[in-house]
Amino acid sequence: MTVGLRCAKCGREMSLCEFLGHTNKKGESMARKKDEKRPTSARDKSLAPEGPLSEEEKAELTEHDSQSGDEEIQPPLIPEADMPKAIEAIPIQNDRVAATYVGMGLARDKKDEKLVFLEFSFTMTKHHTDFVPEKVADAFKWLERTDNKSIVVNHIEPQTVDVFETPKDKKPAIHLSGASVQAASVAMIEESGKGKTKKVIRFRFRLMVERSEAAINFAAWRDQEQFWLVLVDTQAKI
């Protein structure tokens, strides 16, 4: 039965049977020729024959386009947990030790001389043992080997201390000559940060000196700042 269909190539009339894929008079498959002429995706419209597509072909193209979308972003090859960690600031530079100036206090000695103390604190590692008084280095090593939490270090030699604002400054922010070391302790503590805690050994101490304009100005206004210290044993005593 003829339904008014014509071949797109030669213009002759075709039966429905021929159009649906049966061979034509030349023995060629009409379905194969139809597939060769139709685009494989919406991006290949330039290959499409003239004339409207059937509903079946439109549905096929829509399904093909929906399956050929952008590729999903793949996770990194190196898991986040294995990524190199950020390099922490070096606690010792140019033979200077990074420390936090905690704050000040006023005191008097047995002769009623007016004094001021400056309290400092810093986390110790094995690299610090050459830059602190010998008794402090010994306390650190002993604490590392034991389960003790804290050691009070008494009778430390007076220290001459230069306090620098950076590890490269030539002139110190303040120079403390013959400072008496008071309330010195080496303690195992837990520090928290970035969602986890870790145990560290911290050295905390006070440097006691006579009150002077320079000492009071520094002590009163520079608390909770980081500085770089050089500590040297001295025989001077207060």
Indicate whether 98 pLDDT > 50. Answer: yes
Output the average pLDDT for the chain. Answer: 78
Per-residue pLDDT of 1-10, as tens digits, reads: 444 566 666 6
Query: Per residue in 155-173, pLDDT tens?
Result: 999 999 999 999 999 999 9
Per-residue pLDDT at 196? 82
The CA-based angle 218-221-225, given to 5 degrees, is 90
| pTM of the complete model | 0.61
Q: What angle do CA 129, 98, 177 make, to 5 degrees?
A: 80
> What digits encode the pLDDT tens for the residues 172-206?
999 999 999 999 999 999 887 767 888 899 999 99
Residue written as token pair 């389960």: 147
Query: 3-state class of 96 per DSSP?
Result: strand
The β-bridge partners of 105 are 117
How many whole angstroms separate alpha carbon 165 and alpha carbon 173? 6
pLDDT tens, position by position, 23-46: 555 555 544 444 444 545 544 444
Q: What is the pLDDT of residue 191?
A: 80
Residue 28 CA neighbour count, 13 Å, CB half: 9
